[in-house]
Structure 1
Amino acid sequence: MRSRRAYRSDLSDARWALTEPAFAAWRAARTGPGTAARVHDLREIVNAILYVNRTGIPREYLPHDFPPYKTVYDYYAKWEADGTTQQVHDLLRDKARRTHGRPSPPSAAVIDTQSVKTSANVAEASQGIDAGKKTKGRKRHVATDTLGIALAVIVTAASVHDSTGGKRLLDELAASHPSVTKVWADGGYQNSVLQHGAASGIDVEVVKRPTAKGFQPQPKRWVIERTFGWLMQHRRLVRDYEALPQRSRTMIHWAMANKTSRELTGESTPSWRTETDNPCTTA
């Protein structure tokens, strides 16, 4: 990494050590006779992606001490397309599960949706209106494990019904995590989702709302509500700015990777920090 003052979103040495092997393997697979020299530090590319993810700025407004924004987006798109981002996210999730004494393959999951507004650059065909929340934009269909870490993510127009998206989500969950046999959901999912899950060997249970007045965390399902709170700490996800749904999905994976790597290294996201407290290196 070239010398510069660190940003709060930068990877510390400990966090980079968790993911460097995956990125190093990616670069090694693309190095050979006649290959142009790699001039950009992959750690700086990741730092730039996390800066956009955490602050919510347009890519073209990246500070000049990062690599060019078009280069950053090129890596972002390539890593999304070839599965590198997903691989890094899943690697961190498995490490986190083992740290909590859980086996890497999950056996249970929680599903829910989150509707967010879209920006002006999102095509009309890629968005819709959530009739329940009266929100025009996109809908995130998310499945997490019981720690709240993402297992499957699908991004659709907000007009897609929870049950329709829920069936697609269960299909992806069954394909990518066949060890999952139990799923908790809220009352927004119809019986067709329960039947769809049963056909895939997944027992879908609807968690009923507490009858008492006032706020009460819902049993089992509270973990995914906390996950949505984690996502909202990343300003790029407060509104969907991505032109393509798959780019939105990738931005969620980066946010979860950011959160999970901080947890694994015992780091937090303080509201202030002195120069001597900053764990990020500048050399």
Structure 2
Amino acid sequence: MAIYKENLTELGERKRKHSLRSVWNALLYVVKTGCQWRMLPVNFAKWQLVYYYYKKWSGLDCFDLLLAKLREKVRSGMGQNRQASLGIMDSQSVRWGNNRALSGYDGNKKVKGIKRHVATDKNGFLLAVMVTAAHVHHSKAALLLARVLKQLLCGIRTIACDGGYRGEIIEQVKNVSDIFYK
């Protein structure tokens, strides 16, 4: 550890005033409370520093890696394979009046807003998420969500979904991504 610190000072990195744990706790506070960056309490690091690390870690996909490793650890602790082989896909229309560009109208649900398309494993752990305008039918978004699943989780072999995902979209997903719907 001392060798590592010596190498850092040789590279010109300065000593941290706030620990990364403090920055992480501030990020968790923002996520939990939904407060604005500038409204972080004074017992955390300055909001500019917390935001800097958030942008840096987001750009490196650290959050996705952390979520994947945590999901694998919990699954193995439950006596399951580390990688999920079964996915569950569904969508939900949500009222959304803040963004006119992304707003649509879902005629089936009588909702003006957006639609969340979510894929989870059998335990309910999040695998992939996609947001579209509410008028986009979930069978159309299923193809894009299946491509994301293929890129992220090679182990997914079966996807369970409701009757809304029917028709030719099933064959298209089978042909494009080798993921089988049942």
Structure 2 length-normalised TM: 0.82
Determine if the alignment matches structure 1 residue 179 to structure 2 residue 161: no
Describe the shift of the 1:157–1:37 C-alpha distance in structure 2 as closer, same or farther (beyond 3 A). farther
> What does 1:147-186 correspond to in 2, within 5 Å?
147-186=123-162
What is aligned with 1:113? 91
Residue of structure 2 aligned with 1:33, choices 11, 36, 47: 11
Aligned-residue offset at 1:151: 1.4
1:115-135 CA distance string (max 9 Å, x none): 334474x4x334433333344
Describe the shift of the 1:67–1:130 C-alpha distance in structure 2 as closer, same or farther (beyond 3 A). farther
Contact kept in structure 1, 2:118 and 2:126, CA below 8 Å: yes
Higher relative contact order (CA 8 A, sep 6+): 1
Aligned-residue offset at 1:136: 3.8
Q: Distance in 1 between matches of 2:134 and 2:9?
A: 42
> What does 1:168-247 correspond to in 2, within 5 Å?
168-199=144-175, 200-205=177-182
Residue of structure 2 aligned with 1:91, choices 47, 65, 69: 69
Q: Distance in 1 between matches of 2:53 and 2:30?
A: 14
3-state DSSP of counterpart to 1:139: strand
Determine if the alignment matches structure 1 residue 65 to structure 2 residue 68: no
> What does 1:267-278 correspond to in 2, within 5 Å?
none
Contact kept in structure 2, 1:128 and 1:159, CA below 8 Å: yes
Q: Distance in 1 between matches of 2:142 and 2:105?
A: 17
Partner amino acid for 1:61? M
Aligned-residue offset at 1:163: 1.5
Aligned-residue offset at 1:85: 0.5
Describe the shift of the 1:92–1:65 C-alpha distance in structure 2 as closer, same or farther (beyond 3 A). same
Describe the shift of the 1:75–1:135 C-alpha distance in structure 2 as closer, same or farther (beyond 3 A). farther
Contact kept in structure 2, 1:118 and 1:137, CA below 8 Å: yes
Residue-pair matches, total: 174
Contact kept in structure 2, 1:163 and 1:192, CA below 8 Å: no
Q: CA RMSD in A?
A: 2.4
Describe the shift of the 1:40–1:140 C-alpha distance in structure 2 as closer, same or farther (beyond 3 A). farther
What is aligned with 2:31? 53
Contact kept in structure 1, 2:30 and 2:36, CA below 8 Å: yes
Larger strand proportion of the pair: 2
3-state DSSP of counterpart to 2:117: strand
Q: Distance in 1 between matches of 2:142 and 2:134?
A: 13
Identity of aligned residues (%): 37
Contact kept in structure 1, 2:103 and 2:114, CA below 8 Å: yes
Contact kept in structure 2, 1:128 and 1:157, CA below 8 Å: yes
Q: Distance in 1 between matches of 2:55 and 2:15?
A: 20
1:165-185 CA distance string (max 9 Å, x none): 211010111122122111011
What is aligned with 1:80? 58
Aligned-residue offset at 1:137: 3.6
1:68-113 CA distance string (max 9 Å, x none): 2232222222222211000110010000110111111211110112
- Residues 107-116 or 130-139, more deviating: 130-139
Aligned-residue offset at 1:45: 1.8
Any gaps of 5 or more consecutive residues in structure 1? Answer: 1-29, 206-283
Any gaps of 5 or more consecutive residues in structure 2? Answer: 1-7
Partner amino acid for 1:63? P
